[in-house]
Amino acid sequence: MQVSDEPVVLVTGGARRLGAAIVRLLHARGLSIVVHYRSSADEARRLKAELEGVRPGTVAIVSADILVPDAPRALIEAALERFGRLDMLVNNASTFYETPFDTASLAQWDDLIGTNLRAPFFLGQCAAPHLAAHAGAIVNMIDVHAHRPLKDFPIYSVAKAGLAMLTQALARELAPRVRVNGVAPGAILWPEAGADEAERARALARIPLHRTGSPEDIARAVAFLLLDAPYVTGQVLAVDGGRSTML
């Protein structure tokens, strides 16, 4: 095993959508990347090939279901086996779907809480000693609805609220060697299931900047908190075009 000369970051859910934008920007900033994915194998392989075409040997891809109890430790061990160090962690992997209160199930609770809250907790626990060795950092991907619940998404809203509190709690637990912050995206990418034009118009009307953001907006916020904010910890940065002022 050769220890990387470059800082190493693990990005969960990093093969596509917001995760891929984060991976591309952090790689462009000189980091080596461990890209976690669950089922997006083709996207992960294409992303690795793209980035290693720029800097060979700087990207590893690892498949895991982060709901499996041993997955957090296995992911951290995979990063260490490949690069010999781990400096940063981005908890980006998430599940998001409606769970109306009167029909929500235990399986949905376990899935949404497990992916959005439990997995970041135990990934942080497993990563912490290695991050501390390099004065590292964690960024958790939260949501503007961590503070104002989204109708028909009570479990998701609760999970993201828990992740916001976990961000503050770990900022205290892991100080002074590890900083922990969060990014709360607003309307960046429409759900893959789609949204009708009327629904999109209503959403845009609630955003003071009157437009959606881009995945690169989120990636820049993550990079700032990881690389350019050495005196910032325990904070959640809303990247939402001002939407949180309207909620």
- Residue closest to 238 by CA, chosen among 158, 166, 164, 183: 183
- Domain assignment present for residue 81? The answer is yes
Compute how many other C-beta atoms are within 10 angstroms of the C-beta atom of residue 129.
Answer: 12
CB 244 within 8 A of CB 236: no
- Domain assignment present for residue 1? The answer is no
**Domain span holding position 168:** 8-245
Q: Which amino acid is located at 54 in the chain?
A: V
| Tokens representing residue 56 in the block | 């060979």
- Domain assignment present for residue 241? The answer is yes
Q: What gap in Å lies between CA 88 and CA 94, rounded to an integer?
A: 18
- Residue closest to 75 by CA, chosen among 60, 64, 59, 89: 64
Per the structure, the count of domains in the chain is 1
- Domain assignment present for residue 184? The answer is yes
| Element at 62 (helix H, strand E) | strand 59-63
pLDDT digits (tens, 9 = 90+) for 22-54: 999 999 999 999 999 999 999 999 999 999 999
**20 phi, psi to nearest 5 deg:** -65, -35
| Tokens representing residue 123 in the block | 């990934």
- Domain assignment present for residue 2? The answer is no
| Catalytic-role residue among 37, 97, 156, 231 | 156
* 97 annotated active-site: no
- Domain assignment present for residue 107? The answer is yes
- Domain assignment present for residue 223? The answer is yes
CATH code assigned at 191: 3.40.50.720
Q: What gap in Å lies between CA 114 and CA 120, rounded to an integer?
A: 9
pLDDT digits (tens, 9 = 90+) for 70-121: 999 999 999 999 999 999 999 999 999 999 999 999 999 999 999 999 999 9
- Domain assignment present for residue 104? The answer is yes
In sequence order, which ranges of the chain are alpha helices (DSSP H)? 17-28, 41-52, 71-83, 106-113, 119-132, 154-174, 197-205, 215-227
pLDDT digits (tens, 9 = 90+) for 114-164: 999 999 999 999 999 999 999 999 999 999 889 889 899 999 999 999 999
